[in-house]
Structure 1
């Protein structure tokens, strides 16, 4: 008969699929129930069969390994010994499952001694993995040669998949689960047991994050939430560093904890190489003083070195800060699945329920069988004379058994138990013990049946075991959880605190430029024309500050965002910059209206908020010190209103609000009582119908400068500050400039000096620079003078103030003087 034709493509696919499944389930991916891979499960079961528990003497590791590979795991002895060694390493396992004696390796990467030299036994915690395994709590399967039986899974009481974590690479998939704290896991299990419909976020109130045996700090941001909600995510881990003071004003940096799975000796070598290459400067000596008490890597610093800069360099250039990528893959029902936190805990609770039900059935059957025997013995003791007579009168034991069964209605086991009963059981004391044992069995039977019949009782048993597990084995958390959304290196100390210029255009383009670029071209002040803007755009904010300052940005809807000045992308003097939407998570129809810089949020200073509808609010600056990356509400804004301006003010400052219709009001800032952050403020000026606030000028009571007002029709006027009388806030105010259809409504107002200049941009993209002393100084209730001639229908788009006399290519022009109009 001819051999059938076989498709090589199909055969390879079938073979590779079988191989993949074997690697995934039989080698690399742990079971969700006991959190163990087959090799670890076989090591623990082999030790259990050897009687190698924590209450017994140690046995040679070679003996354990021999049993594992001879009975259950037909692989190389080195692979099994490596797995056993890792189970005993306190720096690899959060709670070791093997109690090792001898050299089991070190955190420096030193290998363990040969298995003939080391000894091992199960740890006390490992005993909880095999509790009740002799009560038919789990299924068994044949070993590789069908000569023995091995457990499919262990009946563990410990949520080991999360407790000790797991890592492995299979075919086409991998798993990477960090270790956790047992106490936190038990609390989460109790939460899910009491409230099965709870969410992952509810469980995260108990499980704060990973708990690595090597300690360190973990930055809990969005990556951690994603990991627990979806099964995948990335978190940042940092080692812990301390600054020690030495003699003669010398200092030293001491590394006391390192990230999980990091080789300490390789870290020291990396630091030494960086010091030698001058990438980390200021270190005079490096040594490893670690011992059995803990890790201690010492960096002696040179005199004058700044420790924070060196610490930040260590985090940036060495594995002292590293990432841990969650990939919570586990085998569920012989299939690999990506699981979130709730899924893992749910599968463990289901496993515990099944184990307890099977254990209870076993105990119930055993108790009922024993109670059945005791019932027969009670019958015999109650009729002892007749029983003795029947036995004495029988020729054979079988005749005696048959006679007892027929006379008293006993079963075969009961009759046999009576025949096997010793004479000492006939005493009164033994009789009482038998009755007491029978009554206890009846109570136990009732209890076992209640577990099987009522879910509430079953949950109570699980809860009791979990609480006992926590009380016995839980230890304090070793990894510190740091709540930080950025989760990155703070390199501010590595950036020189140079003076820079921040420009923000009306359309939202922002950039950072070194102040030196302006100084080299003798461009003082704001240098508006040193910036390339698109048609119709102009500079809204121009700030001279330094890299380490806080840049505070306020939007039209009252939100505040904060970032460091050095986080603004740097651009050349003529660059357009980047759009602010690339840096901030602004909402739809949200734009920046005001920018400030602060180094410190001091409580004696205040922010004065002014809205288009004339609302004002004064709030202490320190209330805004904590700002999330998504921003915070700085002031509550009504739907028909928007934030106009925010200014930092002192206790003695005054404010002048100017409206589009030409009215103004001057009041003391102290008239606005300090309020909380989430408030709307109070009325600053009572607006007439359709009017709106266009500017807020802040000055002290002794101000000697003038207020310059500019209208959309190209008119302007300069008025002495003291002509604006001090009023109470909330009034309708007084005239600051008479507006007509010819002048148009006011665009804004600024405080000026005679040697200042203003630059106006028109809707025709025409730019004109005017010296302030060329604008006549007049009274309040006047129309002002023409500042720029424009075509019909054109308007002034915006204006800005310049403190010096030379701006690129724009010659000063005199304003067209018109008669004042009262």
Structure 2
């Protein structure tokens, strides 16, 4: 290395140099590109575009449009030494009405769309300033703001714009700097101006009162803001999360189907990608119930029609759309801006105060400028007035003077004028000597004297100065203020799982090896008594379906094990399967041990007072517990009843407190008693005797004796009968009971006893997974001491496993969809 170069080399540690260089780069990005100034709400590129259009190109709102290519070129040539695409993208955003709450550029041509379409190239598009932009710039020639050299020191550019509007709030801003980001939402002009005026009126106004004026952001695309917590946090701390939803209505189409119609979108959500996302979720079956989608948007507004399948609950589909797509977004607000070239996160009051301070400075400087100009003009007019009063002498002095300088000096000396006044007299044309012109000068001087007096009073009184600021804001409010577009719902609606799942009736089945699933009730078609049924479940070798019941997807299910434990599950958490599928192992759904078996189920809508759970064990022990005691089971389950060593819980029924219970045994006996014979006990109690059993007998069922119902008894070999409840007399608990059905070799043992009516239907299910559906009225009514009739033809080696009651559908509904019995 040459010696002269070696002398100029400074050694430095790379680590230290990287730190210094990166900090310099970061501050350059923060101050020069990414963050808006708290005063005018603009980043440098916005400021330069608007200034070039206003000052250099004179593209005012009442002038012709000009090619955007020319504007971009002018900005690059004079002020902004960066890429042309960055300048054009910014120019386009200033014109997009779905981006800017109050657009500042009037674009002509293709400036993109809310669908996410890009704008045309700048050689095709044209632009000019919007009328509102004049009020951002029209005081700039009155020494209201400071100027600085441009990038090559050939021109001066404004370091800030003298905007009369709080642009940072009304149009918002977004940008990513180095190690920080800003995301300021737009607001309604009327609300923001009212807040500024309120803070001018009462500088100590608190945040609560300020938020009475600025209620929430107001996005250009409308939508609905849900919840006030995020809004309040944003205004108080400068950070907050705001939930924004699309505006949707549910319409009934001519074909009888429902449709969800989206009319307003969340801010910064493009429509085309949203449609593509919905289509993708439908294909992946993550969104169900949608049959078609049409975009009917036009120049009058957005109209996205999502057509639903017939019978689909529209609110559930809409909730799922909110949950899984950008029809609902969380807007993360960060009120970060530059204050004296320092990045700070400000709350609402500080932002408003900085704008007020800025306007005070601008109006003061403008008033001082106007005062100076008025005084200078008055000074000249006073000289002209003197000259006109002595016009002949003035003319003679000028005629006799050698040159202009000589004339100026003589006029100054003769009439005690200043050089400025003398020069104005020399510049005066002869037409100003007419009587009318003389009167005009006097009138103008008089007006100037009043103006000077007024301007001085403004500078002398802060109250009057603030009055000027307020009056200008109110004028702009009348000119450009509009109604709020974004609705506000004060309470946020957090979606529960129920909001996302349609409420429908399902059949829940559990096999002998504890596989569980749920299937819509409509999956089972009705057949006549004596038919062969249809396959309802594929089971493993030596597995068989043991239990079946009907419940709503929004219900709770209390699961009771043979060991007296209770577990809690929502029906929608039961895995969905087809009629022929096996289902899912219960051990994956509930916390049960390997030696436990589920023996009873109770669907519950609400855990209300006045309802009870009536428990029955295999050995005839009974127990009554208040339902609310089971409202908060733990994940590992809770104790429902304390059992003897060889006993097991076989059934649980929900009662009203005035119910009658019928216990039925495997050998065909039954006993009927009032539930009040059993006192209400705690969960850990063991219970009392309900029926005295014979040798080898066991309780198989507990039924509720409702007025007008029959008792349906079903045996393992497919036989059954229904007997009027009147044939079962009420006894005291603890007796042997009476004969219910003869348990002969033909019938086999009793598997279940149900309380039914003629309107009910039955679902019969066998150990080999065959399911059959019949009407109860097809089962012949028999006395207690009879064997019954055949309900289902069983294949060799098969036997009935379980039976469930289904209430007959209402008139006019499809035969395929009866309502289940509500426990």
Q: TM-score range by the shorter chain?
A: 0.5 to 0.7
Q: Is the 8 A contact 1:285 1:300 kept in 2?
A: yes
Look up the match of 1:119: 126
Secondary structure of the 1:300 match is strand
Residues 626, 680 of structure 2: 8 Å contact kept: no
Contact 1:757/1:805 (8 A) holds in 2: no
Match of 1:167 in 2: 174
Would you say 1:574 and 2:581 are equivalent positions? Answer: no
Is the Cα–Cα contact under 8 Å of residues 513 and 570 in structure 1 kept in the other structure? no
**Pair 1:804–1:225, CA change in 2 (3 A):** farther
Please, which moves more after superposition, 360-369 or 477-486?
Answer: 477-486
Within the alignment, does 1:70 sit opposite 2:70 as a pair?
A: no
Identify the match of residue 212 of structure 1 among 219, 225, 231.
219
Are 2:465 and 1:443 equivalent residues in the alignment? Answer: no
Structure 2 residue aligned with 1:268: 275
Distance 2:634 2:304 in 1: 38
**Is the 2:556–2:569 Cα contact (8 Å) retained in structure 1?**
yes
Which residue of structure 2 aligns with residue 368 of structure 1? 375
Distance 1:211 1:805, change over 3 A: farther
Q: Which residue of 2 aligns with 1:597?
A: none
**Is the CA contact (8 Å cut-off) linking 1:239 and 1:259 kept in structure 2?**
yes
Q: Is the 8 A contact 2:41 2:168 kept in 1?
A: yes
Q: CA deviation at 1:502?
A: 9.0
1:520 is matched with 599
Q: Measure, in 1, the Cα distance between the counterparts of 2:633 and 2:274.
A: 33
Q: Residues of 2 paired with 1:805 and 1:572: CA distance?
A: 34
Aligned to 2:32: 26
Q: 1:501 touches 1:542 (CA, 8 Å); kept in 2?
A: no
User: Which consecutive residues of structure 1, in runs of 5 or more, have no partner in the other structure?
Assistant: 504-509, 531-538, 546-564, 577-697, 706-751, 774-802, 807-822
- 1:464 is aligned, of 455, 471, 478, to 471
Compute the displacement of 1:64 (Å).
0.2
CA contact (8 A) 2:36 2:337 kept: yes
Contact 1:162 1:179 in 2 (8 A): yes
Take 1:572 and 1:388, find their aligned partners in 2: how far apart are those partners? 114
Tell me if 1:759 matches 2:681. yes
Q: Is the 8 A contact 1:237 1:322 kept in 2?
A: yes
Q: Is the 8 A contact 1:239 1:256 kept in 2?
A: yes
Q: Secondary structure at the match of 1:22?
A: helix
Alignment correspondent of 1:54: 61
Partner Cα distance (2:435, 2:458) in 1 = 35
Q: Alpha-carbon deviation of 1:47? A: 0.6
Cα drift, residue 306 of structure 1: 1.3
C-alpha distance in structure 2 between counterparts of 1:575 and 1:183, whole Å? 62
Q: Deviation of residue 399 (structure 1)? A: 2.5
Q: Is the 8 A contact 1:236 1:488 kept in 2?
A: no
Query: Contact 2:98/2:220 (CA < 8 Å) preserved in 1?
Result: yes
Using structure 1 for the length normalisation, give the TM-score: 0.65
1:122-156 deviation digits (Å, cap 9, x = unpaired): 11111111111011111111111001111001001
Q: In the alignment, does 2:326 pair up with 1:319?
A: yes
Please state how far the C-alpha of 1:194 moved relative to its aligned partner: 0.6
Describe the shift of the 1:500–1:259 C-alpha distance in structure 2 as closer, same or farther (beyond 3 A): same
1:512 to partner: Cα distance? 5.1
- 1:61/1:493 Cα in 2 relative to 1: closer, same or farther (>3 Å)? closer
Is contact 1:755–1:772 with CA below 8 Å preserved after alignment? no
Would you say the 8 A contact 1:221–1:483 is kept in 2? yes
Contact 1:142 1:149 in 2 (8 A): yes
Q: Is the 8 A contact 2:319 2:495 kept in 1?
A: no
1:293 matches 2:300: yes
Q: Does 1:106 align with 2:146?
A: no
Shift of 1:805: 8.8
Residue in 2 that maps onto 1:500: 556
Task: Give the conservation status (yes or no) of the 8 Å contact 2:223–2:264.
Answer: yes
Q: Following TM superposition, by how much is the alpha carbon of 1:528 offset from its aligned partner in structure 2, in angstroms?
A: 10
Residue in structure 2 matched with residue 542 of structure 1 by the alignment = 627
Relative to structure 1, the CA distance from residue 372 to residue 314 in structure 2 (aligned partners, 3 Å threshold; closer, same or farther) is same
Q: Note closer, same or farther for the CA distance 1:418–1:502 as it changes in structure 2 (3 Å cut).
A: farther
Please state how far the C-alpha of 1:376 moved relative to its aligned partner.
1.2
Q: For residue 20 of structure 2, what is the aligned residue in structure 1?
A: 14
Which whole-Å CA distance do the structure 1 matches of 2:680 and 2:625 have between them?
Answer: 14
**Kept after mapping to 2: 8 A contact 1:72/1:144:** yes
Is contact 2:567–2:637 with CA below 8 Å preserved after alignment? no
Question: Would the alpha carbon gap of residues 93 and 804 (structure 1) be closer, same or farther in structure 2, given more than 3 Å must change?
Answer: farther
Cα distance in structure 2, aligned partners of 1:245 and 1:522: 39
Maintained 8 Å contact 1:501/1:544: no
Shift of 1:757: 2.2
SS in 1 for 2:323: helix
Match of 1:185 among 163, 171, 192: 192
User: Which has the higher Rg, Structure 1 or Structure 2?
Assistant: 2
Q: Which runs of 5+ in 2 are unaligned?
A: 1-5, 504-551, 560-565, 575-589, 591-596, 604-610, 617-623, 641-655, 661-673, 692-731, 736-823
Instruction: Check the 8 A contact 2:612/2:625 in 1, yes or no.
Output: no
Q: CA deviation at 1:316?
A: 1.1
Counterparts in 2 of 1:412 and 1:322: CA distance versus 1, 3 Å: same
Query: Matched residue of 1:305: which SS?
Result: coil
Relative contact order, CA 8 A, sep 6+: which one is greater? 2
Decide whether the 8 Å contact of 1:757 with 1:804 is kept in 2.
no
Alpha-carbon spacing, 1:180–1:522, altered in 2? closer, same or farther (3 Å): closer
How many equivalent residue pairs? 568
Q: Distance in 1 between matches of 2:89 and 2:481?
A: 27
2:99 matched residue in structure 1: 92
Contact 1:215 1:479 in 2 (8 A): yes
The CA deviation at 1:486 is 4.1
Q: For the structure 1 residues 289 and 377, does the alpha-carbon distance in structure 2 shift closer, same or farther, using more than 3 Å as the test?
A: same
Matching of residues 299-448 of structure 1 within 5 Å: 299-448=306-455
Deviations 1:489-509 (A, max 9, x none): 784361644443799xxxxxx
Contact 1:100 1:118 in 2 (8 A): yes
* RMSD, matched Cα: 3.3
- 8 Å CA contact 2:625–2:682 kept in 1: the answer is no
Matches of 2:243 and 2:497 in 1, distance apart? 13
Q: Contact 2:183–2:335 (CA<8 Å) still a contact in 1?
A: yes
Residues 514 and 323 (structure 1), Cα distance of their counterparts in 2 relative to 1, 3 Å cut: closer
Instruction: Give 2:728's aligned residue.
Output: none
Task: Give the drift of 1:419.
Answer: 2.0
Q: Secondary structure at the match of 1:235?
A: strand
**Residues 256 and 296 in structure 1, CA contact (< 8 A), matched pair in contact too:** yes
Residues 62-120 of structure 1: CA distance to partner in whole angstroms, max 9, x if unpaired? 00000011111111111111111111111111111111111111112111111101101
User: Structure 1 CA distance, aligned partners of 2:253 and 2:87?
Assistant: 48
Give the deviation of 1:527 after TM superposition: 5.6
Q: Secondary structure at the match of 2:472?
A: helix
CA 1:569–1:213 in structure 2 vs 1: closer, same or farther (change >3 Å)? farther
Residue aligned with 2:476, SS:
helix
